[in-house]
């Protein structure tokens, strides 16, 4: 199931705790696919201390199903408009 969090830190944190094996599309927008990346929920890129409290300033689109999330990303941005994290999904 797709869940979208924007300016909702408590909602996003709860989702992460309930879906440690899930996936997160960090949806920054703009033209560059490098800034629109799908990660494992546990990826260090999603848990940088510097982003504490402001993580959902960038829209987080979440799912427990990677294929569903990839389809969502393609629907929003086209097939070339996003990528998978090389650290956690390489």
Q: Where do contacts with Zn ion occur on this chain (CB under 5 A)?
A: 39, 43, 45, 85, 87-88
Cβ distance to Zn ion smaller for residue 31 or 86: 86
Separation in Å, CA 5 to CA 55, 70, 86: 10, 17, 23
d(CA 11, CA 67): 22
Cβ distance to Zn ion smaller for residue 45 or 77: 45
Task: Specify which residues 83 forms β-bridges with.
Answer: 37
Query: Residue 88 Cβ, how far from Zn ion at the closest point, in Å?
Result: 3
Query: Residue 44 Cβ, how far from Zn ion at the closest point, in Å?
Result: 7
Query: Residue 23 Cβ, how far from Zn ion at the closest point, in Å?
Result: 10
Cβ distance to Zn ion smaller for residue 42 or 71: 42
Query: Residue 79 Cβ, how far from Zn ion at the closest point, in Å?
Result: 20
Residue that the structure tokens 């899930």 belong to = 22
Alpha helices in 1-90 (DSSP H): 9-18, 66-77
């Amino acid at each position: 199931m797709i869940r979208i969090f924007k300016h909702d830190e408590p909602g996003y944190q709860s989702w992460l705790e309930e879906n440690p094996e899930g996936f997160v599309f960090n949806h920054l927008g703009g033209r560059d696919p490098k800034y629109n990346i799908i990660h494992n929920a546990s990826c260090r890129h999603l848990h940088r201390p510097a982003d504490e409290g402001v993580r959902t300033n960038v829209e987080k689109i979440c799912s427990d199903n990677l294929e569903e999330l990839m389809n969502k990303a393609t629907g929003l941005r086209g097939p070339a408009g996003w990528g998978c994290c090389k650290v956690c999904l390489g």
